[in-house]
Chain A
Amino acid sequence: MNARAELPLHAPGTATDKGYIGQSVPRPNAKRLLQGRGTYVDDLRLPQLAHVVFFRSPYAHARLKRLDFSKAASQPGVIAVFDGRAVAEYCKPWVAVLDHLKGIKSPPQYAIAIERACWQGEAVGAIVAESRAQGEDALQLVEAEWEELPVVVDMEESLAGKYVIHPELGDNICFKREFSTDAVDEAFAKADLVVEETYAFGRHTGVTLEGRAILADYNAAEHTLTVYQSTQAPHMMQDIFSRHLDIPEANVRVICKDVGGSFGIKVHVYPDEMATAAISVMLRRPVKFVADRLESFLTDIHAREHKARVRMACTKEGEILAFDLWDLTAIGPYSVYPRTSGIEGNQVVNLTGSPYKHKQYRAQMHVVFTNKNVACQYRGVGHPIAVAITEGIVDLAAEKLGIDPAEFRRRNLIPDDAYPYSFPSGLKFECLSHQQSLDKLLALMDYAKLRSEQAALRQRGVYRGIGLAAMIEVTNPSPAFYGVGGARISAQDGATLRLDPTGMVTCLSSVGEQGQGAEGAFAQIAASAVGVTIDKVRVITGDTGVTPYGGGTWASRGAGIGGEAVLQAGRALRSNILDVAAHILGADKSELDIVGNEVVNRLTLESKLTLAELGRVAYFRPDTLPPKFQSELTVTRHYTPREYGFTFSNGIQACLVEIDVETGFVKLLKHWCVEDCGTVINPMLVDEQIRGGIVQGIGAALYEECLYSVEGQLMNGSLVDYLVPLSSEMPDIFVGHIETPTRQSELGAKGAGEPGTAGAPGAVMNAINDALRPFKARVTTQPFTPQRILEALGKI
């Protein structure tokens, strides 16, 4: 089912005009960013503003025997110094576990570590100064005595548990999950072909260009805390500041102004940010912390360090019968609060094999602690691993059976008419379009032509490869993700729409903006739903004191959930406006509509009354309206998906590479993605989310890895040594759309923020292996550096 979404935006009987939905409207809030007139947290100045810097452990695992701030405290500009015990009196520790992840365990984590540092970079002290530079000067005079402890860095050693990082927990296992359908062994026994491969993924990180930033402003007179934070989830942070700093919830206000990139990095609780807020309370003045680039590499969450052994059983015709997965992932010494660090591994189990129609699946997964930086959800969360291992093993089987990889997929992708569908790991799919997406992709890239070019070029010693990666993506999650586990993370969102006296519409949404275009999309929906032109709409997000209560940005939920709330509020506002209009005009409401900022005759479209005039009357001359009538020109609606725990989208990517087999260098020639995210509100915004996500995935596939020594020291924690994708190596990326709306909402939109990142590593790996096929060489350890390719080719 992929008919273009028909949104009945108007009252029945009117033209089914979708307004701005489906149009590539440039984002109104991008204008200020183009002129350097945005406001990021570090741009803010407040009176009495102080800056905090952190004294961080140089060791991966060490007991802090002595900490002496006395020389540091007397340095120019220093206002105060704090250790972990002092801050703990104001900020309660946390334990990042959730009930629905059975058996998950983690020790308590403090805002500033007390007595023991468990990863290089963990903060054990804080210095507050009049400027960042003075704080850093003073840091050099802090004296500390450490007793080094054994360091656990290797994931398999951690699992074996010879040295247990937190003895009170008994072992190094944060979380494990095992599950099996009932006929897996039978499926493998009767298979014509069993393929097995082990894939490894280097841990890497988000590298948001704006570092983490927080400005906490405690007002002692009122016992209120205002926090300006570069975060994706202001209401979640409001709740957390309230509970951990013991300030009543409504006395905490979290404000997000412009956020310079987030990608999941900024949806977690960071101890240094909690410490900053606590210190503001302790000093009774505003305190700012901005993580610089070196700190970011040491302490922003890392992700995706996995080793996965996959086995797949299939018939000789290429029908997949079963998957068997063993996965091991290494996090840091704590599960991260409040979402836990068990989710990524859990998703790998849920999602491996998920585009395909086999019925048998077994998985065993462990999440283990190490003395490296903490790890948690980063754009795609488990999908990049699951897609890469699934699509990798599928290509391997296709090769062994002599079946074209696209054809192999066609034989196994869930048919488009099979929905609703339940996948063996428990996922429920409402309606996906895998087969159609495959067709569209092959046409978009002219697959047949690329294959014949590939063959011809091979004759001339030019080695190109084509890699496919089919994927699904979790979007619009219900409380099934976090709420059911006890987390105070909202899966619903709200929108308040208000008609202002001059006929403009103000839209307040609990979903935020970090560049993906949420505010632009909401403006489009609001304008369409109410009947105004888009220039009349102003969107306000990211302020817990102003917007409805909601979940914020994560798991690609902004458009689907936040957008639906805007749509419903818009319809309701339209109805209320028409109530007023009916009285003003002495007409029947059913004869009226709103088009282009005016109340019109629904059938003839003749203008009857401008919204500006209506606003004037409603706000300034209600004495001219009937005595029992009150205008209600501010409307709030909330929305959460109720039928499906997760609303899945689907897509498929392809990557074309050319490999220099003498140097191992990979040239990315082109990349394609066909994505079905349901109703597309703004095609350009979807394209750009997909492209940005793909390049992040390419980064993981070819360049990015946080490299730790055996002593747990991060060796490449700067932008010189940690390689992020730059424009010169990136390909042009072509995106196609299919729309299979979800029926859980009238908008029908699913999410589109993460699929680019989900599919790109698998597509790149498959392309490289396809290029190396004449040499019978394969790479399975990401990132696929020139050295790894040369090793596979036997050149070194």
Chain B
Amino acid sequence: MKAPSFSYVKPGSLGEVFDLLERHGDGARVLAGGQSLLASLNLRLSEPELLIDITGIPGLGGIAVSGRTLRIGALTTHRQIETSAEIARHLPLLAQAVRNVAHIAIRNVGTFGGSVAHADPAAEYPACTLALDASFVLAKRGSERRVKAREFFRGLYETALQPGELVTAGEFPLDGAGYRSVFLELARRHGDYAIVGLAAHARIAGGKISDARLAFLGAGSTPVLATRAAAALEGRVPDAQAVAAAQDALSKELDMPADLYSSSATKLHLARVLLGRALVALAT
């Protein structure tokens, strides 16, 4: 299908963006990579008056480590994350996850900020940001605030972003030694949205797990941090008993909607399987 008519502007500064957002309100959409937005426009799923292309605004890109924080600019593409030595070294969870994002032609253009703001619960980054306890920098005219990822994702495609506000960066705390990450997802075909996935990040010391962050994607209307499963594992060696306890706790805390091909029961079963496998991977 062909997209409906709209206007397009590519401002050179955040100030201009805020002006436009204020003036057009709901009639304006922010265009970064556009890999989700343009597809939805081609399908005539929405009809904005104006697209505001923010890819020309300086200062919104880059991957940089500063002290104990790694900052990813909102306009960083998936491909840049995939090929970044910093990410590979400091945030291996993200490096693993990004390889599952669609295919390279999409990754060349799609952006970190765009993915996060779009908040598809089946996408890879939102779950990773929960597991890594990241924060997002949200800017609007005259102010900037930080919202933790764990408070950012509110519902299906719904975030803490207020009108006139943009995600400008993600900030990831760099954990101390001893943390390991594993990203697993189950998809019928490489690059598809996952049926269910798990971004797992935990401290392993002396064979015991602590501070486990188990963030599931495809598990609800937002990414879900499985805190009860994590609690069941705290301080334990992830042996068969501990894994089973964690899986049982998981069953009590996940409420997974069915999709076209998988019932809730199937998805829960698969989530349990992934949890077991992730724990084995973390421990080895």
Contacts and interface: CB of A to CB of B under 8 A. Distances in A.
A726 B273 CA distance: 25
A144 interface: no
Contacts of A723: 188-189, 192
A796 interface: yes
B189 A663 contact: no
Contacts of B273: 662-663
B245 to A, nearest CB: 18
B105 interface: no
A14 interface: no
Contact of A787 (B2, B3, B190, B266): B266
A136 B190 contact: no
A795 B262 CA distance: 13
A133 B3 CA distance: 7
Contact of A132 (B2, B261, B270): B2
B260 interface: yes
Interface in B224-242: none
Contacts of B191: 726, 728
Interface string A549-590: 000000000000000000000000000000000000000000
B138 interface: no
Nearest to A791: B266
B162 interface: no
A270 interface: no
A715 B2 CA distance: 21
Given A136-B2, A294-B1, A728 B263 contact: no
A133 B1 CA distance: 8
| Overall SS of chain B's interface | loop
A485 interface: no
B27 interface: no
Nearest to B42: A292
B88 interface: no
B24 interface: no
A720 B122 CA distance: 13
B47 to A, nearest CB: 9
A716 B190 contact: no
Interface residues of A, number: 29
Interface in B241-284: 260-263, 265-266, 269-270, 273
Interface string A705-747: 0010000000110101101011011000000000000000000
B189 A726 contact: yes
A725 B189 CA distance: 8
Nearest to B273: A662
B188 A703 contact: yes
A622 interface: no
A663 B269 CA distance: 8
B7 interface: no
Contacts of B269: 790, 795-796
A787 B186 contact: no
B218 to A, nearest CB: 13
Interface string A615-626: 000000000000
Contacts of B43: 294, 718
B265 A796 contact: yes
Contacts of A133: 2-3
Interface in B1-45: 1-5, 43-44
A790 B266 contact: yes
Given A294-B1, A294-B43, A715-B260, A796 B266 contact: yes
B41 to A, nearest CB: 12
A20 B273 CA distance: 56
B263 A787 contact: yes
B266 A716 contact: no
Contacts of A725: 189
Contacts of B5: 137
Contacts of A483: none
A294 B44 CA distance: 12
Interface in A357-406: none
B260 A716 contact: yes
Contact of B190 (A726, A785, A795, A796): A726
Interface in B141-192: 186, 188-192
Given A662-B273, A663-B273, A796 B263 contact: yes
Nearest to B4: A137
Given A136-B44, A703-B189, 4 more contacts: A140-B4, A726-B190, A787-B266, A796-B265
17 contacts: A133-B2, A136-B4, A294-B43, A663-B270, A663-B273, A715-B260, A720-B193, A723-B189, A726-B190, A726-B191, A728-B191, A786-B188, A787-B261, A787-B262, A787-B266, A796-B265, A796-B266
Which 5 A/B pairs are nearest by Cβ-Cβ distance? A133-B2, A728-B190, A787-B266, A796-B265, A662-B273
